[in-house]
């Protein structure tokens, strides 16, 4: 098994604990790589390296914005060359389909190119200030050391969403990937040096959330925390960061509604609902885990949905014919099965799946059968809590108001889907739904160009799109007296 090291100040080193964690392949259930078990001492070293790389005299700070952009472009090109190899690593580490990880890896370069392009378009403003004899302008400045903390479901994509704008804005980074999917991050680490980033601009510390994540978030020299993960962890991270008055971006979970009206193209809607929940084995923050179906088409729609979902092929995620892979981690596998049990106990009707998968093609991996519940009532836990697995609840609604009420009746607000042929209804729904992303007649579309983030408990701030770079900048207002006069010192100017 390959034994990895931590990246600190441009050098690869063993963890100070002298310990390594086994990274498990979710399809085989067996370890396949050893990742360093970092700790506070490693975090301290990484933050010190990132701080040194950010200091006024450093190569990074003296580099022009155009120079930073060029490095990001080069990084994007290197990722494109390495895409296939990195995609395979991600599949071995998190069990998601090679086809899905390949698509992500082939798309990731665009984040580096887009934000590389933005690097030298970060501009302040000259303000036509209301005070005569004074010139006022703003500067947009980087924050300093950014802590990037990422989950296991789309490890490199979600890291790119943070690293690209953070670096474009001129910050330095300490990145802590999930303990369950650190291998691709450590392989990715080599690309920074090859792209020409000065040492210490990006540092990578792997290990547990409490042993690496906490010391990183609470470190006094970390200026900003960019976190993607569950909402409970996000809440803890937010509280810890608050003590240091740090900047924070949180991308948390969801309980997204996929709403199908009776005038929709039902073939497209059935496809969209299946894709929304069973693609990526339901392990996406944007999973459309609640299908809201207009009552007049409910029975027909449910039958068509079941018929399509039953055709999903499970198996080895490296196999191009596989459509539903394993659950990434053993604890997550147990959590998904727990939710299925709870839903049954609460009286939801299990129409499909509802158990661990024991098909021969699933080998010894952590597989859960694609599961569909009907007769789900709004108060049930399955209708409210994020499962993060292939489990769908179907809920009928009577009219537009009813659909909006049910869709918004959640603490989350990450995404929603609307299926309708009516322009009026589509526009009205996009306005009334409390979600950071609303898709109409499509689902799971994302782009480096379009802002992504949550309403309510789904998060704070935005990633991707031109807005995202603002999350890594702070504004300085500069005042210059050009009047040449000496005003009364005892009166505010």
Distances (CA, A) of 175 to 36, 186, 239, 298, 372: 14, 10, 20, 46, 37
* 164 or 195: CB nearest ligand NDP: 164
Q: Kind of pairing, strands 391-397 and 371-374?
A: parallel
Cβ pair 255, 71 in contact under 8 A: no
Q: How far is the CB of 48 from ligand NDP (least distance, A)?
A: 19
Cβ at position 285, least distance to ligand NDP in Å: 3
- Cβ proximity to ligand NDP, 241 vs 395, nearer residue: 241
Rounded least distance, CB 201 to ligand NDP, Å: 21
**CB within 8 Å of 471: residues ≥ 6 apart:** 165, 224, 226, 247, 249, 461, 462, 463
Nearer to ligand NDP, 151 or 353 (CB): 151
Rank residues 172 and 236 by Cβ distance to ligand NDP and give the closer one. 236
Please tell me the distance from the alpha carbon of residue 28 to that of residue 12, in angstroms, as a whole number.
29
Report how far residue 420's alpha carbon sits from residue 269's, in angstroms, rounded to the nearest whole number: 9
Q: Residue 280, Cα to own-chain centre: how many angstroms?
A: 14
Q: Give yes or no for a contact between 167 and 173, defined as CB atoms under 8 angstroms apart.
A: yes
Maximum pairwise Cα distance, the chain: 86
Residues that bind ligand NDP (CB under 6 A): 149-153, 158, 176, 178-180, 208-210, 213-214, 217, 228-230, 233, 236-237, 251-253, 285, 386, 388, 414, 454, 459
Provide, rounded to whole angstroms, the least separation between the CB of residue 105 and ligand NDP.
Answer: 16
- 251 counts as catalytic: yes
- 135 vs 208, beta carbon nearer ligand NDP: 208
Catalytic residue among 82, 90, 100, 285: 285
Cβ atoms 334, 242 nearer than 8 A: no
Cβ of residue 185: shortest distance to ligand NDP, in angstroms?
10
297 vs 327, beta carbon nearer ligand NDP:
327
Of the candidates 393, 400, 398, 368, which has an alpha carbon nearest to the alpha carbon of residue 379?
A: 393
**Are 273 and 305 in contact, with CB atoms under 8 Å apart?**
yes
Q: Residues 82, 100, 179, 251: which is the catalytic one?
A: 251
Q: How far is the CB of 388 from ligand NDP (least distance, A)?
A: 5
Tell the smallest beta-carbon distance from residue 451 to ligand NDP (Å). 12
371 within 8 A of 354, measured Cβ to Cβ: yes
Rounded Cα–Cα distance for residues 53 and 173 (Å): 10
475's CB contacts (< 8 A; 6+ apart) are 124, 138, 139, 140, 141
Nearer CB in complex with ligand NDP: 148/270: 148
Strands of the 473-481 sheet, one edge to the other: 126-127, 134-142, 473-481
Q: What is the rounded distance in angstroms from the CA atom of residue 161 to the CA atom of residue 461? A: 12
Residue with the two structure tokens 């490296």: 318
- Residue 55 annotated among the catalytic residues of the structure: no
Q: Point out the residues that are catalytic.
A: 251, 285
């Amino acid at each position: 098994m390959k034994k990895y090291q931590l990246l600190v100040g441009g050098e690869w080193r063993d963890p100070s604990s002298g310990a390594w964690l086994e990274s498990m392949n979710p399809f085989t259930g067996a370890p396949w790589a050893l990742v360093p078990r970092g700790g506070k001492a490693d975090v301290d070293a990484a933050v010190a390296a990132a701080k040194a790389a950010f200091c006024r005299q450093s190569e990074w700070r003296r580099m022009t914005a155009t120079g930073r952009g060029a490095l990001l472009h080069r990084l994007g090109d290197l990722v494109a060359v390495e895409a296939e190899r990195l995609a395979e690593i991600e599949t071995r580490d998190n069990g998601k389909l090679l086809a899905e990880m390949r698509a992500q890896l082939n798309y990731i370069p665009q984040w580096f190119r887009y934000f590389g392009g933005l690097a030298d378009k970060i501009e302040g403003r000259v303000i036509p200030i209301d005070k005569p004899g004074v010139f006022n302008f703003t500067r947009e400045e980087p924050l300093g050391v950014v802590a990037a903390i990422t989950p296991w479901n789309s490890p490199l994509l979600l890291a790119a969403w943070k690293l690209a704008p953070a670096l474009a804005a001129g910050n330095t980074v300490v990145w802590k990937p999930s303990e369950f999917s650190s291998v691709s991050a450590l392989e990715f680490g080599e690309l920074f040096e090859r792209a020409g980033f000065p040492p210490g601009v990006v540092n990578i510390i792997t290990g547990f959330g409490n042993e690496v994540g906490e010391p990183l978030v609470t470190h006094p020299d970390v200026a900003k925390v960019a976190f993607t993960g569950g909402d409970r962890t996000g809440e803890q991270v937010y509280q810890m960061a608050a003590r240091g008055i740090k900047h924070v971006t949180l991308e948390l979970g969801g309980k997204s509604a996929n709403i199908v009206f009776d005038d929709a193209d039902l073939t497209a809607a059935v496809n969209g609902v299946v894709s929304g929940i069973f693609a990526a084995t339901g392990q996406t923050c944007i999973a459309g885990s609640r299908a809201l179906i207009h009552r007049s088409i409910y029975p027909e729609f449910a039958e068509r949905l079941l018929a399509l979902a039953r055709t999903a092929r499970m198996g080895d995620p490296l196999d191009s014919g596989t459509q539903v892979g394993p659950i990434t981690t053993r604890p997550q596998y147990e959590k998904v099965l727990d939710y299925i049990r709870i839903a049954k106990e609460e009286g939801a009707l299990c129409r499909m799946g509802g158990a661990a998968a024991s098909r021969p093609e699933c080998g010894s991996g952590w597989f859960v059968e694609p599961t569909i519940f009907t007769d789900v009532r709004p108060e049930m836990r399955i209708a409210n809590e994020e499962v993060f697995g292939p489990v769908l609840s179907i809920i009928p609604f009577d009219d537009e108001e009813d659909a909006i009420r049910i869709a918004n009746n959640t603490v989350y607000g990450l995404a929603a889907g609307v299926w309708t042929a009516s322009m009026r209804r589509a526009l009205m729904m996009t306005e009334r739904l409390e979600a950071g992303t609303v898709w109409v007649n499509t689902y799971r579309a994302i782009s480096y160009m379009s802002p992504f983030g949550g309403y309510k408990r789904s998060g704070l701030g935005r990633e991707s799109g031109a807005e995202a770079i603002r999350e890594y900048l702070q504004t300085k207002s500069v005042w210059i007296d050009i009047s040449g006069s000496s005003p009364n010192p005892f009166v505010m100017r």
